[in-house]
Amino acid sequence: MDYQLVDYLSGFITDERNELFERILDQRTKYLTVVLENIYQPQNASAAMRSVDCFGLQDAHVIENSNSFEVDREVAMGATKWLSVKSYNKKDDNSLDAIRSLRQKGYRIVATTPHEGDTNLEDFDLRKGKAAFVFGTELTGISDVVKNEADEFLKIPMHGFTESFNISVSASVILHHLTWKMRNDPEIDWRLSPEERAAIKLEWLRRTIKSSDLIEEEYYAHQGGATSSK
């Protein structure tokens, strides 16, 4: 990570914007992440992405099997600009590809669906380590692949006639409760590492500054011909 580049590009935004970036990075986390599997309604997917940003998660994972991920800009309100979104759409079984990738990063796979032996939201143990919450399609829920591969199952207790919330509401309820619980538990190391923090800020700067690629070229030229890591 070229920390000097981050400092250099920071000089091309206002002090107010820089302070905003730093303040949000203070609350950003990769300890929790959201996985959207094969969502076909852009409004729901976009609202879920908005919740991911609002509750301070940095990463979102999108599995595209039979449905393509589309952002409804009016609903997302620009949230995806600030998130690190990983898409899985190149394999025959994109769900399994996503699960393997997340496990390699140390995440336990948590399926958000009623299941025998599932855990109520209030009882979910955050101290066991990083968690990736998988939300499935509006009609059929998560796939059998996710059900078979999941490490844990999580449900929101229901007290009405209907059996579930829609995807975006479920994500909001779960993230609100668990991020509050996470941030108030001194035993959980949920904050970004210095390298993660710098890497995210660099991406935000690149997306914010006009002609940032040309500015980077000038920076590396003055550094003696070193090449950009972009």
Mean pLDDT by groups of 10 residues along the chain of 230 residues? 95 97 98 91 86 96 81 64 92 91 98 82 97 87 92 92 85 97 98 98 96 94 66
**What pTM value is reported for the model?**
0.90
Cα separation values, 30 from 9, 33, 160, 162, Å: 24, 6, 33, 32
pLDDT in the model for residue 22: 98
What's the total number of domains in the chain?
Answer: 2
Enumerate the known binding-site residues.
112, 156
Enter the DSSP assignment of 192: P
SS3 131: strand
Q: Could you tell me if 162 and 119 lie in one domain?
A: yes
Q: Could you tell me if 145 and 165 lie in one domain?
A: yes
H or E element in which residue 211 lies: none
Contact 15, 23 (CB under 8 A): no
Residue numbers of the domain that contains 21: 1-28+191-225
Separation between Cα atoms, residue 69 and residue 215, nearest integer Å: 32
Separation between Cα atoms, residue 208 and residue 219, nearest integer Å: 17
pLDDT in the model for residue 206: 96
99: its two tokens:
């699960």
Enumerate the known binding-site residues for S-adenosyl-L-methionine.
112, 156
Q: Is residue 61 part of a domain?
A: yes
Q: Could you tell me if 14 and 51 lie in one domain?
A: no
Separation between Cα atoms, residue 214 and residue 228, nearest integer Å: 11
Contacts of 7 (CB under 8 A, 6+ apart): none
Contact 153, 146 (CB under 8 A): no
Hey, CA dihedral for 153, 82, 51, 32, is it positive or negative?
A: positive
Q: Is residue 230 part of a domain?
A: no
pLDDT in the model for residue 228: 53
